[in-house]
Chains A and B, each alone.
Chain A
Amino acid sequence: MTYDFLIIGSGISGALIARELSKYDVKTILLEKENDAANHATSANSAIIHSGYDPDPGSLKAKLNVEGNKLYDQLEKELDIPLFKNGAFMVAHDKDEEGLLERYLERAKTNGVPGVALLDQAEAKKLEPNLADSVTKVLNLPTTKVTYPWEVAIASIENAVDNGVLFEKNQTVEKIDKQDEYYVIKTAEGTTYQSRYVINAAGAYAEQIAKMVEKNVQYHITPRKGEYIVLDRRVQGFIKRTLYPTPDEKGKGVLMVPQFHGNILIGPNSELQSSLDDASTSKGGINVVKEGANRLAKNIPFHQTIRTFSGVRASSTHHDFYIKPSLEQPGFIHVAGIDSPGLTAAPAIAKYVVETLIIPQETLPINKHFNPRRQAIKLYDDMSLSERQEAFKADQRYGNLVCKCERITEGDIVRHIHRAVKGDSVKAIKKRARAGAGICQGGYCEHQIIKILAKELGKTPLEINYFAKGSNILKRETKVKS
């Protein structure tokens, strides 16, 4: 198969680039090595759409962060994605940290962040009563938002697919050769693709991909892990805004982030590691996270913890995002070093890649049929009474409550299985429909979800994976089924 553009990696970067390219009448394919889209950094981060107070003025990060933040409002309308406009406070505890607040206030203004201001303790406490008592002053960052990262990526891919892009998962790019004007891309699974352009959006693996085509890769990925704990959504309202400490040499520090669905994320720490994909958690890391959080808020309901996880930042020796054409091979584009604020910047990164790096080289005909809109599948629990009645009339499976913690019905699950980017594993259903994402973490509903998946996909329960290929939960039958 021959394509104009082949994108490697279906994280938020690859997903939004695919969608951006679907505005043009070109043949684009998006490849992903995992069994679902958005399973690396894009599924393990703080979910914040940062305002842009942090990046060095003049950097690509600063520019794309502020632009990306604005573009999310447009994405919310077009892709019907969750966006929680809750704002943020950066908190200070003493004169030194108050000095830092002033500095970040200035930096935010330079970067063009709207609405920033300093608030004293009393004003801040009025807005966030659970702020730690030791907090003396805060920097108000009202344009900070929170999204649901993998849903944004999946929604973008769905919209791209709707507009003609191909998406293939379980394809691990292993080898890239240049033959005349074409790149020949081979995957470990044995498929070969040809494409005029290759866009390397492989996250932490970007350097590995780059080495397949370049002798001297201009950056080196230095992965940094970040661990989190998740509080149950019953803590909703404990804090309204995202709380940041003042940044240190390791980065933005341990945050508390209220999520769209009511949970609170607490984390991350920041530890350099050599592995690109070690996303394990550790007792020490989780302790650092708890200690950090106690400087932000008081009486944190840690007993409502339902899960821990971690993600790997694809930081690089370039420090800024490395979004450039290859110096060695024309038609190969790096979207690398996309660490924080990569989620925020992603819509701006996609535009930058297409409008600044590709269009000057190549006239792209407009896709006249481009439809910018995608409609989310509304969950039963989010419907109005009349919508629920309608939904049940059309499909009685909406009457079967499967996940009791998050109140997800069989009707919801079936629809999420059959999305354009299929939800065909237990974890993919958790990512899409939130079934199993609550306090019992699937203890009650997993056996039902396996059965529903098997029925809808025409498989046996033994063939249903937890996530990756070969990760089936049920191993063998013990008796003949009636």
Chain B
Amino acid sequence: MKPYDIVIIGGGAAGLAALKGAYDKSLNICLIERDKTLGGILKQCIHNGFGLHHYNEELTGPEYAERGIEEVLGLNVDIFTDTTVVDVVKENGTFELMLMNTKKGEHRIKAISTIISSGCYERTRGAIQLPGDRPAGIMPAGSAQRHLNIDGYMVGKKVFILGSGDIGLIMARRMTLEGAEVLGVAELMPHSNGLTRNIVQCLHDFDIPLYLSHTISDIKGKSVLESITISEVDENFDYIEGTEKTFEVDTLLLSVGLIPDINMFDSLKFEVSKKTGGAIVDQTYQTSVEGLFACGNALHVHDLVDFVTEESTKAGQQAKAYILNNKKRSKNTLYVTPSSNISYILPQTLDMDDDFNEVVLSLRTTTNALTGKFHVYQGETLLFSEKAKFVVPAEMEKIKIKKEHLKHSGPISILFEVVSQ
């Protein structure tokens, strides 16, 4: 069988946008989605707040997904749903993907280029080593969201939420509207991890307390959850004695982080960033494996779907250019590294032989600031500085670098200076 030019793994916002970006009449493209329908995580995000940047209007998650689906439906491409990519290897310059479904069982397809847009999964109780008993009633917030919004089941009546990630905040409101009592949200950090609008609309509007610099110090319940205890933490995240508060709850939802879901593709052995948990890519979204691209939450976790669409469209376009221009990866690589107060920058490398005028770097800070300054260096040389307002770790920042700025082959680094907090 003739290999596909491009195979896209995952049909969420990222996969759909990548497909649109990659589309060309002369190319043979395939998208694979393990779920019954396209749309990914958006399908369970029935709240609104999507699309303000991309469509200039406020949509719900399913509406946003619907638009993305409509945009690719007429295209002459292969879309396989209910099919999981279980392994990918690269042999003699061609990707071989192993697929599974209930119609054909295990089968293989080939591709010259592959885009990973497989989304993310939720960090678990075990990964953050929460102490206490291990009863039923503790689950990631996104799982509860799925039970509720897709399958129509409530998971509890009295709820506490650990972590102020967006899903947790959204679920605080959602569970309240469904008749549950949400007793509070605890966040380990001194600042929230969610979008400001979610703090206001999901907690403040419902009088749900947010306990900053707090974490769970005990969980009780033999077979079902009976209570949780939170404690304030000091700067080393150790519990401060005497600050314990106990809540009788039947449900504990965790919103303690999302991680790119790329373990299925371990066999490809592409380089992975410890910071993002996703692939290390250059400005064309190409990973360390030639012809392999990554985008969306599978690359790094995004707070806004609009940015997922923007990034993934570009990744698709780059994959198309890779095929049409028969481009080979150059050795002329420049590294982009985070410095003080920056947690990560994407892309992590620049391919200097690539034909570009400017690149947009996406980055997250490690601290809050009312006002601050980004300083962009190449080696020891300060290239330029840029002012920023209302900076929070939960919201991605963007900085543009022009190719003409880049004076030599030294690494680029960016630091963030807090001016006022």
Contacts of B263 in A (CB 8 A): 234, 404-405, 439
- Max chain B CB contacts within 10 Å: which of A309, A472, A478? A478
CB interface residues, B 356-399, toward A, < 8 Å: none
User: At the interface, yes or no: B223 with Cβ under 8 Å from chain A?
Assistant: yes
Bound together, the chains give a CA A229 to CA B88 distance in angstroms of 30
Contacts of A422 in B (CB 8 A): none
User: At the interface, yes or no: B143 with Cβ under 8 Å from chain A?
Assistant: yes
Decide: A447 near B151, CB < 8 A? Known: A399-B104, A471-B224, A478-B178. yes
Of the listed stretches A109-117, A147-155, A281-289, chain B binds A281-289
Bound together, the chains give a CA A475 to CA B155 distance in angstroms of 5
In contact, B224 and A475 (Cβ under 8 angstroms): no
In contact, A443 and B124 (Cβ under 8 angstroms): yes
Q: Chain A binding site: helix, strand, loop or mixed by DSSP? A: mixed
Bound together, the chains give a CA A388 to CA B106 distance in angstroms of 8
In contact, A471 and B223 (Cβ under 8 angstroms): yes
User: At the interface, yes or no: A392 with Cβ under 8 Å from chain B?
Assistant: yes
Bound together, the chains give a CA A381 to CA B78 distance in angstroms of 28
Residue interface bits B78-107, CB-to-A below 8 A is 1, else 0: 000000101000000000000011111110
Q: Which of the residues B129, B156, B178, B224 comes within 8 Å of A308, measured between beta carbons? A: B129
User: At the interface, yes or no: B142 with Cβ under 8 Å from chain A?
Assistant: yes
User: At the interface, yes or no: A205 with Cβ under 8 Å from chain B?
Assistant: no
Bound together, the chains give a CA A404 to CA B85 distance in angstroms of 10
Q: Which of the residues B106, B127, B134 comes within 8 Å of A392, measured between beta carbons? A: B106
Of the listed stretches A12-20, A321-329, A461-469, chain B binds A461-469
Q: Which residue of A lies closest to B118 (CB)?
A: A404
CB distance from A80 to the nearest CB of B (A): 25
User: At the interface, yes or no: B55 with Cβ under 8 Å from chain A?
Assistant: no
User: At the interface, yes or no: B242 with Cβ under 8 Å from chain A?
Assistant: no
In contact, B131 and A281 (Cβ under 8 angstroms): yes
Q: Which of the residues B86, B147, B157, B250 comes within 8 Å of A401, measured between beta carbons? A: B86
CB distance from A399 to the nearest CB of B (A): 4
Contacts of B132 in A (CB 8 A): 280-282
CB interface residues, B 112-130, toward A, < 8 Å: 121-122, 124-127, 129-130
Contacts of A250 in B (CB 8 A): none
CB distance from B225 to the nearest CB of A (A): 9
In contact, A399 and B102 (Cβ under 8 angstroms): yes
Contacts of B140 in A (CB 8 A): 443
Residue interface bits A137-150, CB-to-B below 8 A is 1, else 0: 00000000000000
In contact, A306 and B84 (Cβ under 8 angstroms): no
User: At the interface, yes or no: A479 with Cβ under 8 Å from chain B?
Assistant: yes
Contacts of B25 in A (CB 8 A): none
CB interface residues, B 211-225, toward A, < 8 Å: 217-220, 222-224
Contacts of B178 in A (CB 8 A): 478
User: At the interface, yes or no: B200 with Cβ under 8 Å from chain A?
Assistant: no
CB distance from A441 to the nearest CB of B (A): 4
Decide: A399 near B124, CB < 8 A? Known: A286-B129, A446-B143. no
Q: Which of the residues B102, B105, B151, B219 comes within 8 Å of A389, measured between beta carbons? A: B105
Q: Which residue of A lies closest to B153 (CB)?
A: A474
Q: Which residue of B lies closest to A465 (CB)?
A: B136
Residue interface bits A272-292, CB-to-B below 8 A is 1, else 0: 000001011111001000000
CB distance from A280 to the nearest CB of B (A): 5
User: At the interface, yes or no: B248 with Cβ under 8 Å from chain A?
Assistant: no
CB distance from B195 to the nearest CB of A (A): 22
Decide: A447 near B224, CB < 8 A? Known: A280-B133, A280-B219, A305-B127. no
Bound together, the chains give a CA A202 to CA B140 distance in angstroms of 35
Contacts of B84 in A (CB 8 A): 401, 404
User: At the interface, yes or no: A211 with Cβ under 8 Å from chain B?
Assistant: no
Contacts of A303 in B (CB 8 A): 274
Bound together, the chains give a CA A443 to CA B141 distance in angstroms of 9
Contacts of B250 in A (CB 8 A): 475
In contact, A279 and B133 (Cβ under 8 angstroms): yes
CB distance from A256 to the nearest CB of B (A): 17
Bound together, the chains give a CA A214 to CA B264 distance in angstroms of 57
Contacts of B154 in A (CB 8 A): 474-478
In contact, B223 and A441 (Cβ under 8 angstroms): no
Bound together, the chains give a CA A230 to CA B134 distance in angstroms of 15
In contact, A305 and B129 (Cβ under 8 angstroms): yes
Contacts of B222 in A (CB 8 A): 277, 468
In contact, B101 and A399 (Cβ under 8 angstroms): yes
Bound together, the chains give a CA A305 to CA B127 distance in angstroms of 5
Contacts of B224 in A (CB 8 A): 468, 470-471
In contact, B136 and A466 (Cβ under 8 angstroms): yes
CB distance from B148 to the nearest CB of A (A): 7
CB distance from A415 to the nearest CB of B (A): 16
CB distance from A8 to the nearest CB of B (A): 20
CB interface residues, B 146-166, toward A, < 8 Å: 146-148, 150-157
User: At the interface, yes or no: B239 with Cβ under 8 Å from chain A?
Assistant: yes
Contacts of A307 in B (CB 8 A): 124-126
Contacts of B147 in A (CB 8 A): 447, 473-474
User: At the interface, yes or no: B190 with Cβ under 8 Å from chain A?
Assistant: no
Decide: A399 near B106, CB < 8 A? Known: A283-B239, A473-B155. yes
User: At the interface, yes or no: B209 with Cβ under 8 Å from chain A?
Assistant: no
In contact, A392 and B124 (Cβ under 8 angstroms): no
Q: Which of the residues B102, B121, B156, B223 comes within 8 Å of A467, measured between beta carbons? A: B223
User: At the interface, yes or no: A407 with Cβ under 8 Å from chain B?
Assistant: yes
In contact, B103 and A475 (Cβ under 8 angstroms): no
Residue interface bits A306-349, CB-to-B below 8 A is 1, else 0: 11110000000000000000000000000000000000000000
Bound together, the chains give a CA A5 to CA B154 distance in angstroms of 45
Contacts of B143 in A (CB 8 A): 443, 446-447
CB interface residues, A 235-282, toward B, < 8 Å: 277, 279-282
Bound together, the chains give a CA A481 to CA B264 distance in angstroms of 33
User: At the interface, yes or no: A85 with Cβ under 8 Å from chain B?
Assistant: no
Additional A-B contacts beyond A400-B102, A443-B122, A473-B136 (19; CB < 8 A): A229-B129, A280-B220, A283-B239, A286-B131, A307-B126, A309-B134, A392-B106, A396-B103, A396-B105, A400-B101, A404-B263, A439-B121, A439-B263, A443-B124, A468-B136, A471-B135, A474-B147, A474-B155, A477-B153
For the complex of A and B, the 7 pairs showing the least CB-CB separation, nearest first, are A307-B126, A466-B136, A468-B223, A392-B105, A474-B153, A471-B136, A399-B102
Question: Can you pick out 20 interface pairs between chain A and chain B where the beta carbons lie within 8 Å of each other?
Answer: A230-B126, A281-B129, A281-B131, A283-B131, A308-B129, A392-B105, A392-B106, A399-B100, A404-B84, A444-B121, A461-B151, A465-B136, A466-B135, A468-B136, A468-B224, A471-B135, A471-B137, A474-B147, A478-B148, A478-B152
